[in-house]
């Protein structure tokens, strides 16, 4: 890994900043899974720091989610409700969240690396005069109690470790990089209602209308417990039928390597890896995929990885749990037929 450091040094009295704060983004009127995953990441950091895990949620009527956030690991929940927070706007959300951060001074602030948060977090960094590490896939605490922010660089060929000299230490984390804690309704949190002061003239952007479009494959890869991905080993699009049969037989969502997507064999929403989705299913099949670093960073948190490839020296065999060296056009149909027999007996 290469290592770089944030050069911004504007924040004084670093020792007074304590705690791990998670920004909870809403989607379709409820907390995103990506934000709940960050509560698990915060608890992992807490093991080294021993500091409180808090969460902040902004919206029109969001107080009812405080108990849910506690069940997923928040020990303190800041609730900011206001008519002007009904829809995300950078002006309103930056104004409110920056006041929460400055009023409570958490050492670490985590955001999901979603489209809105990539925009929002950068504005927060500018407002707070601190650094921001974007699109990270892992976090850890070093011997100096600093958060080490790990992200892919150079097209996924290397991983950089980033340190932030200012406070708070802020980072956006790819969805799927961590696994949510088990829901536990016995967990409780301290609830803090935030006094929100906003006026319409404070907001330069108005949301006039929202239209939602369903994109096939956009969500199921991240949420699925079983994912199978196709690589260039299939040779051409017409040969993907045996892959689709296999995925259907085992109830898997279909993913793809970058070259498969670039050739139009499967849609971009199904791309897994550095420039696609980061996923962590319980079971992952990499079929005809060599396993470059770009692909590895998107799947290495999977519970169990099975690889099928005819090249015994393929990188995928260095990090999979179970590998089959063989012709996928022979191996995959055999596996599918055997699994169909098992399904029929069940």
Q: Does domain 2-202 have CATH number 3.40.50.300?
A: no
Backbone angles phi, psi at 39, to 5 degrees: -65, -35
Question: In the prediction, which pLDDT does 4 show?
Answer: 40
pTM here?
0.77
CA atoms lying within 13 Å on the CB side of residue 206: 4
The per-residue pLDDT for range 49-61, each reduced to its tens digit, is: 999 999 999 999 9
pLDDT at 28: 85
Look at residue 85 and give its three-state secondary structure: helix
Residues of the chain with pLDDT under 50: 1-10
Write the pLDDT tens digit of every residue in 26-41.
Answer: 988 899 999 999 999 9
The full DSSP string for 223-277 is H-SEEEEE-GGG-SGGGGHHHHHHHHHHTPEEEE-HHHHHTTSS-GGGBBSTTSB
Report which of 318, 20, 342, 35 is spatially closest to residue 177, judged by C-alpha positions.
35
- Residue intervals of the chain classified under CATH 3.40.50.1220 are 220-345
Q: Where in the chain do CATH 3.40.50.620 domains reside? A: 2-202
Say yes or no: domain 220-345 is CATH 3.40.50.1220.
yes
* 51 contacts 20 by C-beta, under 8 angstroms: yes
């Amino acid at each position: 890994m290469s290592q770089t450091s944030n050069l911004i040094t504007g924040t004084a009295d670093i020792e007074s900043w304590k705690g791990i704060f998670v920004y909870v983004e809403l989607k379709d009127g409820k907390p995103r899974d990506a934000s709940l995953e960050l509560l698990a990441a915060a608890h992992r950091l807490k093991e080294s720091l021993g500091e409180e895990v808090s969460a902040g949620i902004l919206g029109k009527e969001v107080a009812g989610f405080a108990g849910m956030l506690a069940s997923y690991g928040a020990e303190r929940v800041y609730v900011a409700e206001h008519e002007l927070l009904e829809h995300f706007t950078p002006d309103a959300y930056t104004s409110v969240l920056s006041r929460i951060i400055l009023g409570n001074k958490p050492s670490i602030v985590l955001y999901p690396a979603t489209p809105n948060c990539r925009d929002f977090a950068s504005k927060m960094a500018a407002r707070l005069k601190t650094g921001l590490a974007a699109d990270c896939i892992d976090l850890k605490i070093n011997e100096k109690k600093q958060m080490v922010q790990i992200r892919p660089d150079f097209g996924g060929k290397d991983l950089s470790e980033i340190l932030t000299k200012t406070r708070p230490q802020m980072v956006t984390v790819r969805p799927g990089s961590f696994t949510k804690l088990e829901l536990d309704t016995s967990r409780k949190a301290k609830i803090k209602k935030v006094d929100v002061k906003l006026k319409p003239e404070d907001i330069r952007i108005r949301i006039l209308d929202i239209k939602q479009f369903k994109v096939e494959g956009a969500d199921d890869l991240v949420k699925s417990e079983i994912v199978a991905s196709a690589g260039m080993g299939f040779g051409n699009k017409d040969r993907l039928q045996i892959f689709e049969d296999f995925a259907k037989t085992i109830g898997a969502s279909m993913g793809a390597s970058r070259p498969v997507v670039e050739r139009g064999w499967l849609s971009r929403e199904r791309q897994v890896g550095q420039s696609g989705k980061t996923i962590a299913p319980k079971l992952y099949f990499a079929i005809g995929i060599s396993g470059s670093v770009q692909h590895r960073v998107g799947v290495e948190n999977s519970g169990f990885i099975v690889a099928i490839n005819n090249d015994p020296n393929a990188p995928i065999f260095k990090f999979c749990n179970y590998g089959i060296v063989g012709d996928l056009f022979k191996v995959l149909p055999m596996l599918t037929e055997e699994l169909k027999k098992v399904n029929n007996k069940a």
